[in-house]
Every structure is written in C-alpha cells, then in structure tokens.
C-alpha cells in the first residue's frame, strides 16, 4: 500500500512516484497513527537524531532501517515517550505525547528482542500484569487469543526463566499486542531467533496487522524480515532520514537490486574512518 497512502507533504528524500487523484483521496482518509516531526536528540557532543520526520498511517507496516548508530533506537524511544526529544513533536493517534503520555501510550504496544520478561512470574501472570497496566480488567481471554495466535498456548504456565530466547520474544510480542494497539513498535523482533521462529514471528505479525488493522513500525537488521513484513522502508543515516518509500523504489533509487545493497551502501558511508560521502542516492 502505502506509497499511495503517504501524505503528500511528507518529507522524504526519495519520492515514491506520482500520486493519483484517487490515491490522494485515500491519503485524506487514512488516519495518521504516528506523526513525529523534526525530532532532534543530542547526547553530549553527538547528535544522535537530527530532524527526523516519520509518519505512519493506520494499518501501514513501516521498517526503520539504518546501520548501527544511525539513530533508530533513539528515534523509537522518543516515539515511545521514554526519551524526551530536544526538539520536535510526537503525536500518537492525534494525542500529543509530551502532554498526555499515558493516554497516548494506550494506543501503542512495544516489544524488543533484547528485553527480558519480568522475573519470578509465570507467563500468564506476566501477561495479566501488562494487560492490566494497559487498563484491561480481565485480560485472560485476550491472553489466550494472543498465545494461540503465535501457537504457544502451552507456555501459559511456564516461568519466564524457563523460556528460550525465541519463546521470550514471542511472549513479548503477545504482551505488546494484548490491548490491541493502533501502533505496534518493534525493535529487532527477530534478532537471534532460529529461522523457523523468526518466520512464526513474521507470520503472526502479518496476521495481527491484517485482522486488527494495527500499524507497524519496526527496526531490523534482517532484510528478509523487512521484505516479507513491511511495505514501506525509512532509512536513517547519521540521524537523518535519507530514504523513504517502498523497498523496491528505495533499492532502485540507490542502484541496488535489494535492500541489503542499500544497507551496505549506507553502512559504508556511516563508517567514521571512511571518507565522508553523500548518504543520498
């Protein structure tokens, strides 16, 4: 989708081609679930994020890509309200994050491959805790549904410490989607997973987005994730958006056959020891 659903004023380094009048009407209809404008973040003397604009529309699946240190995680943490931007604004489902973080957070789910499960709790207890933190009085039916979606219903009684890393990731995604968020944010959801588990994650995410119309914003270093799950990619380099469009459009704009080529191109430019060249195609 997606190319056609992008807002006409969206700042992009690569345009996605002409937008027909019909598609433009779709732009107007598709609701923005995330609107981040002019995000800037400095850590000591380094600028981690430098004027990033990101919008995600309802049901859209977007990958935020870039080499290590490009500013992806900092951008996500600002979108989640955990890190305060030095400049710029974030709105989630039209709610300004800086003013109403708790209300805005009700519309978002977040999971990351590197985050542990809360210790000393069984999986069902853990999921119930987070369901209630999202304001669900009786999360049990949603827990059953979530576990079933990823075919891990048998883990409900397991202790968090007994799970493999793949199982923990799946439980983390179930936790992040219990409250049916409008926007699901995932940081490296398939990192260090076996291919079969990674595939189960991807299939589950697609199923979730299709059924509930959940929008997705995810980072990944695995381009097969991106190609299978996402319909739009946003590349960051040196804290700036350098490409925004469909995977095919972005790859061809950089003169590569696939996203891996674009990634390597940008990673080479990102190397502090390499001669500084343009990150743009």
Partner 1 sequence: MSTVPPSTAPPALTAHGKSWLRMRAIARRHAYVMVRSPHRLFDVSLWPLVDVLLFGSLAAFVSTGNATPAAKASGYLLAGIVLWHVIYQSQIAMSTGLLEETWTRNLLNLMVTPLREVEYLAGVALFGMVKLVIGVGVMVLGALVFFSFDTWSLGFGLIPIVAVLLVVGWAISLFVMGLVLRFGTGAEALAWGVMFVLLPLSGVFYPTDALPTVLQPIAQALPTTHAFAALRSLVDHNGSDWSQLAIAAIGVVVMLALSMAFLVAMLRTFRARGYITRYT
Please give the residue ranges that form the binding site for partner 1 (CB under 8 A). 41, 43, 73-74, 77, 80-84, 86, 101-103, 105-106, 108, 110, 112, 114-116, 118-121, 125, 128-130, 132-139, 141-142, 145, 148-149, 151, 179-180, 203-204, 207, 211
CB of 121 to partner 1, least distance (A): 5
Q: How far is the CB of 268 from partner 1 (least distance, A)?
A: 26
Cβ neighbours, 10 Å, residue 33 = 25
Q: Which is nearer to partner 1, 10 or 89 (CB)?
A: 89
User: Where in the chain does DSSP place strands (E)?
Assistant: 32-43, 46-57, 61-65, 87-92, 95-96, 108-112, 183-187, 215-219, 232-237, 240-245
The answer to whether the beta carbons of residues 139 and 128 sit under 8 Å apart is yes
Q: Which CB sits closer to partner 1, 129 or 264?
A: 129
In this complex, which beta carbon is closest to partner 1, that of residue 77 or of residue 251?
77
Residue 82 C-beta: closest distance to partner 1, Å: 5
Helix (H, G, I), strand (E, B) or coil at 264: helix
Measure the N-to-C terminal CA separation of the chain; round to a whole number of Å. 23
As measured in angstroms, the least distance from the Cβ of 10 to partner 1 is 25
Taking the least distance from each CB to partner 1, the nearer of 121 and 158 is 121
Nearer to partner 1, 134 or 254 (CB): 134
CB of 97 or CB of 234, closer to partner 1: 97
CB of 251 to partner 1, least distance (A): 28
Structure tokens at 2: 């997606």
Report in angstroms how near the CB of residue 280 gets to partner 1 at its nearest.
27
Q: How far is the CB of 129 from partner 1 (least distance, A)?
A: 5
User: What does 85-130 look like in DSSP terms, one character per residue?
Assistant: -SEEEEEETTEETTT-HHHHHTTEEEEETTPPPPTT-BHHHHHHHH
Tokens of 153: 């219903």
67: its two tokens = 């080499």
Question: Buried b / exposed e across 171-200, counting CB within 10 Å, b at 16+?
Answer: bbbbbbbbbbbbbbbbbbbbbebeeebbeb
Separation of alpha carbons 174 and 144, rounded Å: 10
Whose Cβ is closer to partner 1: residue 177's or residue 249's?
Answer: 177
Q: Which helix (H) or strand (E) holds 269?
A: helix 259-270
Question: SS3 of 83, please?
Answer: coil
């Amino acid at each position: 989708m997606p190319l056609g659903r992008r807002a006409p004023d969206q700042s992009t380094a690569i345009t996605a081609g002409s937008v027909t009048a019909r598609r433009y009407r779709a732009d107007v209809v598709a609701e923005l679930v995330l609107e981040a404008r002019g995000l800037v973040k400095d850590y000591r003397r380094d600028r981690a994020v430098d004027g990033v604009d990101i919008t995600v529309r309802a049901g859209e699946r977007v990958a935020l890509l870039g080499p290590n240190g490009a500013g992806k995680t900092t951008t996500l943490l600002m979108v989640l309200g955990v890190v305060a931007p030095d400049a710029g604004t974030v709105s989630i489902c039209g709610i300004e994050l800086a003013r109403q973080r708790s209300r805005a957070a009700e519309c978002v789910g977040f999971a990351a491959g590197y985050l542990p499960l809360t210790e000393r709790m069984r999986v069902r207890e853990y999921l119930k805790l987070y369901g209630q933190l999202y304001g669900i009085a009786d999360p049990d039916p949603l827990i059953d549904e979530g576990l079933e979606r990823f075919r891990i219903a048998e883990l409900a009684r397991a202790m968090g410490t007994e799970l493999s890393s793949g199982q923990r990731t799946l439980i983390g995604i179930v936790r992040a989607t219990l409250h049916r968020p409008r926007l699901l944010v995932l940081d490296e959801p398939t990192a260090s997973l076996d291919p079969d588990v990674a595939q189960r994650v991807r299939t589950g995410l697609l199923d979730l987005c299709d059924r509930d119309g959940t929008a997705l914003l995810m980072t990944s270093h695995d381009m097969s994730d991106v190609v299978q799950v996402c319909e739009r990619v946003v590349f960051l380099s040196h804290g700036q958006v350098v490409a925004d469009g469909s995977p095919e459009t972005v790859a061809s704009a950089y003169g590569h056959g696939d996203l891996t080529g674009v990634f390597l191109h940008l990673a080479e430019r990102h190397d502090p020891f390499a001669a500084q060249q343009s990150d743009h195609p």
